[in-house]
Structure 1
Amino acid sequence: MTPGISLVLFDMDDVLSHYDRSARINYLSALSGQEPETVHAVIWGSGLEDRADAGSVSNEEYLRTMGDLLGCRITREDWLASRRASILPNMEVLALVTALAARYRVAVLTNNCRMVSDHIQFLNPAVAELFGDQICSSALLGAAKPSVNAYLRCLDRLGAKAAETLFVDDLETNVGGAIRAGLHGHVFTGAESLSAELQRLGLL
């Protein structure tokens, strides 16, 4: 058992929600007339998404640059529609969070641009309803996982202590960053193994 846990901090994409990147790509491919491989390269190969996640570009610059790279205008509404198409709540995990929330604080730390946190109720209403204002996007923090600063700035915003926080993420590198920041960590592989780990820690 890990004593003294008062906060369980969750990643969003591929933990609280299934993230279908192909749905996002296909939406923007149809909008722009570009091949899906080109859209993928623009989002993840150009470094644009990483810069947006780190908060180093504004929403307007992000959309303008994406449009320039895709050869068409990308509005905020276009981007939100493409991102919403990629999100499907993981109801098994959200049920575990609901049970946890009866006894512990729960919050979200997600690597995403400002538009995700600004429009979370539209993009992911199930997560917005469950977590309320306890959702931190990396762009708002000015640092992305696995940077130690991302976790420490998130905890500072939440008023929580690293030694009393369990962090759950599907990427081992992000869990490693949390551990380096002094948090406890669990690599998410599914709801069943997460439930077993929470029970092992005495949290459920």
Structure 2
Amino acid sequence: MSPRPRPKLVVFDLDDVLVEYQRERRVEVLARAVGAPPATVVEALFKSGLETKNDRGELGLEDYLDAVRRRHGVDIPLEAFVDARRQSMRLHREVLQLAERIAAQTTLALFTNNGQWLGRQLPKFFPELRPLFGTRMVTTGQLGLTKPDPQAFYACLSTLGFAPSSSLVIDDRIENVAGAQSAGLDAIHYASPPQLANELLLRGFNLEPVHAP
């Protein structure tokens, strides 16, 4: 396969790309914090659709937690909610290393189906992200649109100031890859660090280690 043009913008997904996210761990931590069965937490956050509304920006974090309390009788302190998300994620070091190796050759950004609050917390959770991504950490909660809607990708690029034709998305969900491609972006369906490295090489990136001067 011949090399593709090197993109001017590379947009990484968060969950299960840049970080390994364990929803079961998040539920377990929350259940322990509020003294409720895990099944009750799953019902209150996920099956209720409230998490999705937060991801879409229809509910801010405080309104989200208030709705969980009123509708399901589960009182989750804000600090416990944030901490459970932190404990459920582990930085994917091999993917971060690839991001570090291409950072001087393109602009890096992050785009995630999550509430706006998580975008504000990420630099605190993972200080390693700030030098690479700066303030280019976009959440669907701030846009009011979620992946895989092509309009979500248009809105993300508008926020970042790049055109679809010069942008690349890396995502672990095939439906999000299809949505990005429908919006005119190049896209990689992430499976593993070695597979991602091969895809980046095909797009003209040099993946040699970056040495400090």
* C-alpha distance after superposition, 1:63-94 (max 9, x if no partner): 11123345232222111101100110000000
Structure 2 equivalent of residue 155 of structure 1: 157
Q: Which residue of 2 aligns with 1:174?
A: 176
Tell me the secondary structure at the aligned position of residue 168 of structure 2.
Answer: strand
2:108 alignment partner, one of 95, 106, 109: 106
* Equivalent in 111, 116, 119 of residue 118 of structure 2: 116
Q: Which runs of 5+ in 1 are unaligned?
A: none
Q: Return the offset for 1:4.
A: 4.9
Q: Which residue of 2 aligns with 1:89?
A: 91
Tell me the amino acid that sits aligned with residue 112 of structure 2: T
1:36 CA drift (Å): 1.3
Kept in 1, the 8 Å contact 2:170–2:189? The answer is: yes
Residue 151 of structure 1 aligns to a residue in which SS? Answer: helix
Read off the aligned partner of 1:48 and give its amino acid letter. L
What does 1:13-92 correspond to in 2, within 5 Å?
13-92=15-94
Q: Counterpart in 1 of 2:196?
A: 194
How far apart are 1:189 and its partner, in Å? 0.6
Residues 1:117 and 1:124: Cα distance change in structure 2 (over 3 Å): same
Q: CA RMSD in A?
A: 1.4
Q: Is the 1:34–1:70 Cα contact (8 Å) retained in structure 2? A: no
2-side partners of 1:55 and 1:42: how far apart? 18
Contact 2:12 2:170 in 1 (8 A): yes
- SS state of the match for residue 130, structure 2? helix
Cα distance between partner residues in 1 of 2:72 and 2:25: 17
Give the percent of matched residue pairs that are identical in Structure 1 and Structure 2.
34
Pair member with larger Rg: 2
CA shift for structure 1 position 25: 0.3
Structure 1 runs (4+) deviating above 4 angstroms are none
Q: 157-166 or 38-47: which moved more?
A: 38-47
2:186 corresponds to 1:184: yes
For this pair of structures, how many residues does the alignment match? 204
Q: Distance in 2 between matches of 1:44 and 1:193?
A: 31
What letter corresponds to residue 82 of structure 1 in structure 2?
A: A
Q: How big is each residue's C-alpha offset from its partner over 1:83-142, in whole Å with a ceiling of 9 and x where there is no partner?
A: 100110000000000011011111000010011012222233332343110100000011
| CA distance in 2 between partners of 1:86 and 1:39 (Å) | 15
In structure 2, how many angstroms separate the alpha carbons of the residues matched to 1:71 and 1:27?
Answer: 18
User: Which TM-score applies when normalising by structure 1?
Assistant: 0.95
1:138-183 per-residue CA deviation (whole Å, 9 max, x = no partner) reads 0001101011121111101110010111100000001111001110
